[in-house]
Structure 1
Amino acid sequence: MSIIYTGKTKNLGVIGYPIHHSLSPVIQNTVLQSMELDYAYIAMPVKENELESAVKGLKALNFSGFNVTIPHKINIIKYLDEIDGAASLIGAVNTVLIKNDRLYGYNTDYEGFLSAFQAKKFSLKNINGLILGAGGAARAVVYGLLKVGVGSLCIAARNVVKAQKLVDDFKKMGNIKACDWADVSVNEILQKADLLVNTTPLGMYPNVDKMPPVDMSILSSKAIVYDVIYTPEKTKFLIEAEKYGHVVLNGEYMLAGQGAAALKKWIGCKDVDIDLMRIALHEALIKKI
């Protein structure tokens, strides 16, 4: 399909630094073109000391909205007029809608995370989850899981103080506790877990030989194993899980899903082809290898 931009083309994009590696333009433009919408999505490098100027510039240029990635997901909040409840509790914004001269902040990472289970028709209601890591990705994952009504969550991390802070922030939403992932008590939780999620960068390219310290051999046989990393496609964590017959999911679902949720907010539609976005992402990743 040929691309024809006009004087009426509406602009979208993603800001971050560095940003040259971003695949968001690939997945967003693929689905925008499939919907025959007159929009263009671009990646824009914005250094930390340029954030305020960039936000004012995007507003002045009448952008419809933009995504926010590292290192701006927290600092962007001070420049917005409103943020929704999810973004406020998670403590980060990855999507901004510009409407009626106001900037609205959202966090669609949790929606992206949940989209994988919707695709697999796997119910999260009342399950037991074990989350590895207590950083920004973990906060989005925890919010999403508690929002849909999981039975219990344990946050296992190297930094127990950080994990406990996460628990304290989310304890009003449901049954959640923290533990040291090196403690033997984690093994008992593993045996009862229906879902095991890695939210740490362990195993991400180029450090593909690393993984969190969990014993897959004692993980409940029915458990799904999810790694939010998408490069490589299968981390050591997921390869180890497959050895024991577990269903595995990678971060492609989360990235495509959060992009679809953002697009819905920008263009005001109910349905976006997430599968098309994920396929476009997967093909782009293969080309980069």
Structure 2
Amino acid sequence: MIIIFSSPYMEDFIDSSMKHRMHEFRLDLSGDLKEVKWHKFNQFTILTNRGEDPDKQIFKRMLSSKAMIDLDIEEYQEYAEEVPSERLILSTHLRDFDQKQIEDFLDTSIGAKYYKLIFEPKSFSEMTACAKMIAARPNRKYIFNALGKWAFFQRTFFYHFNSIAAYFALIEPVVHSQPNFWEFTKVLAISQLENIVLLIGGGDLSKSGSMTWGNDFYSDEELQNMMRPPKSMIDGEEYLSLPKEKHYAYLPAPINDIAELHEVLDWLKSQNAEHNVFGLAITSPFKHEMAKYLGSHRHGVNTVAFWKEKTFKNSYHEGFESFVSCTNTDIAALSHILRDMKIAKDALVQLYGSGDCAYAFAAQLKRQGYTKLYLNARNKEKLKELSATLELPMQELEKCDLLINTTPLGMQEEDDLSVLPEFSALIDLAILGNNESKLIDIAYEKDIPFADGEDFWVIQHIFQRKEIDEAAF
């Protein structure tokens, strides 16, 4: 098994390549190549140039070194007589899964040391199908790496997909969606891929809170301090404990539906008995669908824990073949933030959004007795449906005591905030990595009390870990 760092040329790393930790230098992303120490590259270095080289000057320098040379199959004929097969990584980059194109590449008559196949799978089954095609050809060394939403999952388990290597960005990705090596190392160090919580969602989950902060918990003292429960989580002598010392890592599984989730779970069981999936952290658009699948009384759930035995907290689920419990820690987090911010029950509240989170929040606010609650959203059809279902009024307020934003509105510079009212307090769930939203900027500027996406995520995450810990340990 080989891990391959990928980066532009950096002299500091020129001597870092070794047998099981190779280094690819993308020369076309490296600027001026005059200072490149070509003679220092060894046989565990990979040189790749996807840029123009009309006089083959760059190629000749690549060839003068001892490094492996990556050539796309489309450009191979131009260099066929010059590259020794033992130094060649023959690669192909497909837009998506195409069985015939993949088989043609796997069976090419061109001799090479490694054959690198890259494509963007739309489903989990496309990756397993590719892995089976590779398994049927055991006499060659194939590198199969996924791009897109499945990139992190597939490259984390690359060996189980019959790939001998996985490429990871050393600093910034050299191609879109390329996972970062340090994020992968973090997952490996925390769990050894034995103890896993699957992060379930419908798109790219790499910037979600669980991936951005959740996997930092055990290695970041500052984050551990940040995750200590706020005042509202301490009732008298009762204290919500932090996660136990048994570690587990969050791994993204960007499924298309519940059936595909079962494909992933069955695959993990079939690969290695040591892959313990302790639970699921669920994001949009599956919160409502998962609640229905589990037969929960809740409209949506964001946390599922798998139990080994029956307790009063769980029930047996035929689909998961396990005792399960489920909850929505978003609701618990909202209640505690409202208490912390001392939002009165007669406060004028504008809730913006029409998705699963907006539904859960609106229902909870209504249950808690907030009598001046008004709904608004960009999607007017869904807004009407939400209003009718919960029997709550729709209205675009000009001013409010509390604005709750459950959408990404405010994360992009071009976002129009004129649809939102002036506010005296703010709960803003918009989150994208460590970036602040424009709403939070306004709150800072006007010295308005707020809870941002990071604050909210931390509080719900404590509840989520407590739920999963109780089942797992």
Which residue of structure 2 aligns with residue 158 of structure 1?
Answer: 378
Task: Tell me which of 437, 441, 461 is aligned to 1:259.
Answer: 461
Which residue of structure 1 aligns with residue 403 of structure 2?
Answer: 196
**Structure 1 residue 25: deviation in Å?**
4.4
1:105 aligns with 2:326: yes
Which residue of structure 2 aligns with residue 13 of structure 1?
Answer: 198
Q: 1:146 to 1:57 in 2, by over 3 A?
A: farther
Measured on the aligned residues, the alpha-carbon RMSD in Å equals 3.3
Which residue of structure 2 aligns with residue 213 of structure 1?
Answer: 418
**Structure 1 residue 24: deviation in Å?**
0.8
Please give the per-residue CA displacement for 1:64-118, whole angstroms capped at 9, x wherever unaligned: 21212244334434553x42x3xx33xx332111123223332222223344334
Q: Is the 8 A contact 2:214 2:250 kept in 1?
A: no
Q: 1:147 to 1:56 in 2, by over 3 A?
A: farther
Alignment of 1:2-41 (within 5 A): 10-16=195-201, 17-25=203-211, 27-31=213-217, 35=243, 37-41=245-249
Q: 1:78 to 1:159 in 2, by over 3 A?
A: closer
Please give the per-residue CA displacement for 1:19-76, whole angstroms capped at 9, x wherever unaligned: 3333414543454676551121221334316223234557885422121224433443
Please give the per-residue CA displacement for 1:115-153, whole angstroms capped at 9, x wherever unaligned: 4334x4424433221112222331132133223332320
Code of the aligned partner of 2:403: L
**Structure 1 residue 242: deviation in Å?**
4.4
Code of the aligned partner of 2:393: K
1:229 aligns with 2:430: yes
Which residue of structure 1 aligns with residue 286 of structure 2?
Answer: 72
- Percent identity, please: 24
Distance 1:130 1:261 in 2: 26
Distance 1:129 1:74 in 2: 24
Q: What's the TM-score, normalizing by structure 2?
A: 0.44
Which residue of structure 1 aligns with residue 262 of structure 2?
Answer: 52
Please give the per-residue CA displacement for 1:152-206, whole angstroms capped at 9, x wherever unaligned: 20002234442232123223xxxx3113x3xxxx33xx2xx221122232222xx
Distance 2:191 2:352 in 1: 44
Please give the per-residue CA displacement for 1:221-251, whole angstroms capped at 9, x wherever unaligned: xx20222112364322333344444223311
Distance 1:78 1:198 in 2: 25
Which residue of structure 2 aligns with residue 284 of structure 1?
Answer: none
Q: 1:226 to 1:233 in 2, by over 3 A?
A: farther
Distance 2:365 2:373 in 1: 8
Q: What's the TM-score, normalizing by structure 1?
A: 0.68
SS of the residue aligned with 1:154? strand
Alignment gaps of 5+ in structure 1 = 270-289
Q: Is the 8 A contact 1:124 1:145 kept in 2?
A: no
Say which one has the larger Rg. 2
Distance 1:6 1:235 in 2: 35
- Relative contact order (C-alpha < 8 Å, sep 6+): which is higher? 1
Which residue of structure 1 aligns with residue 61 of structure 2?
Answer: none
Alignment of 1:120-139 (within 5 A): 120-139=340-359
Q: Is the 8 A contact 2:350 2:404 kept in 1?
A: yes
1:178 aligns with 2:387: no
**Greater fraction of residues in helix:** 1
